[in-house]
Structure 1
């Protein structure tokens, strides 16, 4: 019997049933009608929308209602700086950048250095803050609009965040955090309080503007529980409920049963990997291939369990026609895994070269993006 999967903001394990998550989390599937509406408003569909990688939402129809009435919305996403950045972390950010460009939206980007300290990723708070600034370089390197992007670390923007977080915290009970996150008596009180601080940026645009501003949160489906609580308290604070749009999680290079994870370096391609290391990871990645070339030519391979195909589908092949050809030739046996890995490596290499150059340039641009008290 397959291992039961686990999806929480802090742990993802097992073979994820994304349809079941929609039911368990109480979200809505992005329908063909909603995709048509997005295409009409945005002028195109992002590949992750076309392929069902961005697949679930809360109140996205309302966001589009407001946009079509001439009421702009803000974006809010974030990063818990536990380590360096791998391409799996970047999935919601690729999509967020597209949303910013298509809807000319202001983005609030939270770096939760306090969270990573409270949840024991670091022994010293300053270490989390330092990693946070390293992560900021990757965010800037992605090409977000500096005029519409506000990046802040919790510990450095706390005077703005804390009054909102306190209002939220007063309306969140310990029993709610137990029910949503499974907290127990052994959890420290910082962990229990933290969700109120993660809720705060959802209300910052309204606070800054002095009026209600709709907010859309693009994030991995694993982060949804935090924002269920934010949505619960929003009306009691006098703010609109933040809407959410969720992506699936990029599978591990090591095979089915998990996502790319910073705690398992071989599972993912990191933005600071040397080209030699990244190439080795791609060439050693798990595939859906057969035991021998003869068998694969005769029976074909299985792209649906293949980490290489997942990287094509999720990130590195924007052309739907070529992706379909990769899928077809994999299943027919015309394509061998070694050839497929080398083709993907060419795309990954180009991405890493561009990103690492942009990351170096970002060191001189941090102050154009950062908010501090």
Structure 2
């Protein structure tokens, strides 16, 4: 395919040559690093990863095919890169079905705003295209990579399920599953894992993901687990064993190495390559050079935070692009490219005109940092407050309904 940088797994490596000692930016599924206050250079990342930019032509095509405006995440370039998205749109035009796949690695009791991004766009995609969705909870991954017991990782998966359900997904078209609980009970999932594993060598996995000789063998095999939901035959209850239902995966760009490998192996399994949409990274409160961490409560806003906690975190920790004094700020203006409050507004303020008004006002010095933060606080208190209310109402029966393997409401 035109968007592939390499035709073979053995020619791929993390970041396709990104090296912490040679490049400013480093991205892999576990680490994101940039020496720039503005964060990752995404245009360079597209070139290095060999993906394609979501350009205006593709946006116009999406709007023409769906008859609806694209989500502001797409319009503003937050979802900026893709693999074979145009093919998914062509299939949709021909009334051929596809499904969505995204996931969550449960490492904390509640998700934070950064975790919310792929679920926001996935909900929009589900509603816009009227398609089914599978959500993988990689509790096994967190057990392998972190100091968790199996029981704790699985418990966190159920806690995160509440946040996912609270996003508003259609229960008749959404299947959420824990790896620990589903893989052994599926007639197709484990078989696809084994097919995948047989086609990838130990050296290829080490070369692609940087695993060392001291890593546990569970890590070596995990790519096959994350790849399996890309194939419709992994869900016989949903797709009746069909292996030819296309898959679209919305995810952050750091997950792309998993799916580059998946796209290489898929044809040799007799399966279709998954298509992808990549998002930018959501910045930590302390700025683009910092990393959000579920273990650092002050690096991010959690979906269970109270109004008071939201206000305190933004006022105290959100990195400012403003000047040192009010007088200097009025004269020189603020830098929106590094200001975290403004960057958060690009994600959660849907009104384009208001966002541009804020940008011009802050850049010219008319709007002060405190005023910018106040605007963000108001928006996030409303968004997270409504999410908290929905989450609090979710029952065990609701969770069971979403996590029961079944045929989803969709025509195949």
TM-score scaled by structure 2? 0.87
Aligned partner of 1:147 among 172, 189, 212: 172
Q: Residues 108 and 290 from structure 1, CA distance in 2 versus in 1: closer, same or farther, beyond 3 angstroms?
A: same
Q: Residues 207 and 264 from structure 1, CA distance in 2 versus in 1: closer, same or farther, beyond 3 angstroms?
A: closer
Q: What's the offset of the Cα at 1:13?
A: 2.1
Q: What pairs up with 1:170-249 in 2 under 5 angstroms?
A: 170-204=198-232, 208=236, 209=239, 210-211=241-242, 212-249=244-281
Distance across 1 between alignment mates of 2:175 and 2:148: 28
Distance across 1 between alignment mates of 2:216 and 2:350: 44
Distance across 2 between alignment mates of 1:58 and 1:179: 22
Distance across 1 between alignment mates of 2:357 and 2:395: 40
Distance across 1 between alignment mates of 2:32 and 2:115: 13
1:81 counterpart residue number: 106
Distance across 2 between alignment mates of 1:257 and 1:27: 24
Task: For residue 367 of structure 2, give the secondary structure of its aligned residue in structure 1.
Answer: coil
Distance across 1 between alignment mates of 2:269 and 2:148: 35
Distance across 1 between alignment mates of 2:220 and 2:288: 32
Distance across 2 between alignment mates of 1:205 and 1:329: 53
Q: Residues 280 and 2 from structure 1, CA distance in 2 versus in 1: closer, same or farther, beyond 3 angstroms?
A: farther
Q: What pairs up with 1:5-16 in 2 under 5 angstroms?
A: 5-14=25-34, 15-16=39-40
Task: For residue 122 of structure 2, give the secondary structure of its aligned residue in structure 1.
Answer: helix
- Preserved contact between residue 142 and residue 148 of structure 2 (Cα < 8 Å): no
Matched, 1:25 2:25: no
Matched, 1:90 2:110: no
Distance across 2 between alignment mates of 1:289 and 1:369: 45
- Preserved contact between residue 206 and residue 213 of structure 1 (Cα < 8 Å): no
Task: For residue 123 of structure 1, give the secondary structure of its aligned residue in structure 2.
Answer: coil
Q: What's the offset of the Cα at 1:122?
A: 2.9
Aligned residues: 371
Distance across 1 between alignment mates of 2:395 and 2:30: 29
Q: What's the offset of the Cα at 1:23?
A: 1.3
- Preserved contact between residue 214 and residue 240 of structure 1 (Cα < 8 Å): yes
Matched, 1:287 2:320: yes
Q: Which moved more, 1:280-289 or 1:13-22?
A: 13-22
List 4+ stretches of structure 1 deviating above 4 A. none
Q: What's the offset of the Cα at 1:264?
A: 2.6
Task: For residue 255 of structure 1, give the secondary structure of its aligned residue in structure 2.
Answer: coil
- Preserved contact between residue 107 and residue 150 of structure 1 (Cα < 8 Å): yes
Query: What stretches of structure 2 of length at least 5 have no aligned partner?
Result: 1-20, 407-412
Aligned partner of 1:313 among 346, 349, 354: 346
Q: Which moved more, 1:68-77 or 1:122-131?
A: 122-131
Distance across 2 between alignment mates of 1:115 and 1:47: 32
Q: What's the offset of the Cα at 1:105?
A: 0.9
Matched, 1:164 2:192: yes
- Preserved contact between residue 53 and residue 81 of structure 2 (Cα < 8 Å): yes
TM-score scaled by structure 1? 0.96
Aligned partner of 1:366 among 399, 409, 412: 399
Q: Residues 2 and 271 from structure 1, CA distance in 2 versus in 1: closer, same or farther, beyond 3 angstroms?
A: farther
Q: What's the offset of the Cα at 1:257?
A: 0.8
Distance across 2 between alignment mates of 1:96 and 1:19: 23
Q: What's the offset of the Cα at 1:2?
A: 11
Task: For residue 117 of structure 1, give the secondary structure of its aligned residue in structure 2.
Answer: helix
1:102 counterpart residue number: 128
Q: Residues 196 and 305 from structure 1, CA distance in 2 versus in 1: closer, same or farther, beyond 3 angstroms?
A: same
1:114 counterpart residue number: 140
Cα deviations across residues 44-80 of structure 1 (Å, max 9, x unaligned)? 1100111011100001111111111110110000000
- Preserved contact between residue 12 and residue 258 of structure 1 (Cα < 8 Å): no
Q: What's the offset of the Cα at 1:178?
A: 1.5
Matched, 1:263 2:295: yes
2:76 counterpart residue number: 51
Task: For residue 126 of structure 1, give the secondary structure of its aligned residue in structure 2.
Answer: helix
Aligned partner of 1:41 among 65, 68, 86: 65
